[in-house]
Structure 1
C-alpha cells in the first residue's frame, strides 16, 4: 500500500489560519485551516458534512487586504473536520498567495517547484 504522501499531487504544509467558510451555502463559524496544499486543505471544525458537499473558503493572510479565495468540495471527513479539495482558486492574486505560502512553509522547496512545473495552475499538464 502506498502512503498518502506518495499519492498526493502537491506537498502539504502544516499551517494554521482562521478561515471564512461557507458549506452548502451556509456560513460555518470557528473553522481553522490546519494544513494546506495547492490542491486543498484540512479544515478543523465541529461541523460534519458529506463528501461531495460544495464549499467556498476565504483565508485572510492580512485581514481584508491579502486573501486566498477558493471553492471546491468536501473530499474526506475525519473526527476533527474535513478535507477540502479545491476546484478553483479565485484569481491570480489568490493563486500567487497560495503558492508562496506553500513554498515558504515547505521543508523541500525544490519538490514543490517541481510539482508546480508539472501542473497548469492546480491541474496536471497533459
Structure 2
C-alpha cells in the first residue's frame, strides 16, 4: 500500500503566497515566501532550508482585501525539507509546523483557510 504524505494530513492545504519572517531560537533571521498554508503549518519556498527540528518565531504579515494588515505570529518547528537538487521535481523549501499560536492568530488562520478554500481571498 502506498502511503502518500497528503493522506496523513490532519488539515487541508490551500494556496497561500505571502512573505514570512522567521527568527530562529538561535537568533538567525530570514525572509521567505510561502506557497501553501493549513491550520497546522505552512510551506516556505527557500534554499537552503533550515535543518529539521529548527524552532523559533514565525511572523506572517497579510494584506487584507480592504488593505488592512493582519499580523500572525507564533512558534514554529521545521518538520520537512526538500532540497533544491531533489529528483522528484518538487519546489525546494521546508514544511513548518505551527507549534503555538494565540487564539487571535488561530481564528485568523481559520478564516484565511476558509476564504482560500472558497476562493475569495485576495492574494498579494
- TM-score range relative to shorter protein: 0.7 to 0.9
- CA displacement 1:68-99 (0-9 Å, x = unmatched): 1121211010021111011111x222111111
Pairing 1:26–2:53 present: no
Q: Give, in angstroms, the shift of residue 53 of structure 1.
A: 0.8
Are residues 95 and 77 of structure 1, via their aligned partners in 2, closer, same or farther at CA, if it must alter by over 3 Å?
same
Q: Give, in angstroms, the shift of residue 44 of structure 1.
A: 1.0
Pairing 1:95–2:106 present: yes
Looking at structure 2, the residues matched to 20 and 12 of structure 1 have their Cα atoms a distance apart, in angstroms, of 20
Q: Give, in angstroms, the shift of residue 66 of structure 1.
A: 1.2
Q: 1:1-126 maps to which residues of 2 (within 5 A)?
A: 1-24=2-25, 25-29=27-31, 31-62=32-63, 65-79=69-83, 80-89=92-101, 91-106=102-117
Q: Give, in angstroms, the shift of residue 64 of structure 1.
A: 8.4
Q: Which secondary structure does the structure 2 equivalent of 1:57 belong to?
A: strand
Higher helix share: 1
Higher relative contact order (CA 8 A, sep 6+): 2
- Unpaired segments ≥5 residues, structure 1: 108-126
Q: Which secondary structure does the structure 1 equivalent of 2:7 belong to?
A: helix
Conserved 8 A contact 1:55-1:74: no
